[in-house]
Amino acid sequence: MNMDWENIFKLPEAAYVGGKRITKTVLSSRAMLTKHEQRTLDKMHRLEHFATVTKGTSHVLPRVDDDYDIQTVIFLRCEMAGDSQAVAEIARLLHGCFPNPTVILQEAGDNIAVSVGLSRRSHAERGATVVYDVESTGLFKQDDARYKPFLDSLAFDCLPQIDLLSYIEALSTCVKLSRTIKPLGFYPVCAPNDRARLLGLIADYERQQGAVDVLTEQRQANDVTPNESAKLRMRIRKAERQCDETIVEIESICNTFMGSVNEGDR
C-alpha cells in the first residue's frame, strides 16, 4: 500500500490508529460471514484500520436520535489482491461488517477507489443498524490529474462538521459527484443553491447510462435477430442522446459557477 491517504483526508492527528491489521479470520468471525462471503474476502490481500473519527478524536459531535446512532466513523484501508476489479463487491461486503458509517480506501496496483457507506438504526430489529446507502468512485489512476480536485475536496477542514452525520454525508456526496469525472472530463462544482439540481442530473445520467449498458448487452446476445438488433440500436441511440443532453446541462451549471468565480477574482 503506497497511497498517501493521510495527506488526502487531513484528519486530526488523534484520529489515526497506526494502520492496525484486521485479519480475515477475525473479520469473518465477528461479522458472522457466510462461506461465500469468506471466499469473497480472498479478493482482498490486506485490510487495515486506518482511522477513527469521533468526538474525542475530532471534536465533531455525534448524531444520536430516533433514526441514527452515529458516534464513530471508521476508515479502513484495503489492498486488493493483484489488480482485482472486484472493488465494489469487496466494499459492499466490508460496509456491511460494521455497525458504524465506514469509509473504505481501496488500492489495486496503480488504481485506487473510495467508498462511503451510510448506516442508520434498523426499524425492524431493535439495537441493530443497517447500511442504507453506499457510494463508490470505482477504480481510477491515483495520478490522474482530473481527480485531484475531487481528492482535495475530501480534506477534513473542507467538509461540514455540524455533527458526524453531516460529515459522512458530505463525504458521500463528494464520491457521488466524482462518478461524472470521466464523462465530463472534470470534477463538477456548482453554487450551493444548484447542488440539489446537480445531484439530480447526476442521478439522471447514471440511470440513462445504465439503460445504454443494458440495451447494449441485449443487442450483443447471440440469439438476437437482425430486426431486433436494429430496434435495439435505435433505442441505444435515443438513450445515448439523453446522456449527452444531461451532460450538457451538468456542464452548464458548472460553467456558470466557474464563470462567476473567475469574474469575482478579477
In tens, the pLDDT along 15-49 reads: 999 888 999 999 998 889 999 999 999 999 999 99
- Cell numbers at residue 43, please? 479478493
pLDDT at 84 over 90: no
Confidence of residue 173 (pLDDT cuts 50, 70, 90): very high
- Cell numbers at residue 261, please? 468565480
pLDDT of residue 157: 96
pLDDT of residue 148: 96
Partners of 60 in beta bridges: none
Entry pTM = 0.89
Among candidates 136, 133, 143, which has minimal Cα distance to 106? 136
pLDDT at 262 over 80: no
DSSP assignments along 179-216, one per residue: TTHHHHSS-----GGGHHHHHHHHHHHHHHHHHHHHHH
pLDDT at 10 over 90: yes
pLDDT per position as a tens digit, 104-158: 999 998 899 999 999 999 988 888 899 999 999 999 999 999 999 999 999 999 9
By CB atoms closer than 10 A (0-12, 13-18, 19+), residue 95 is buried
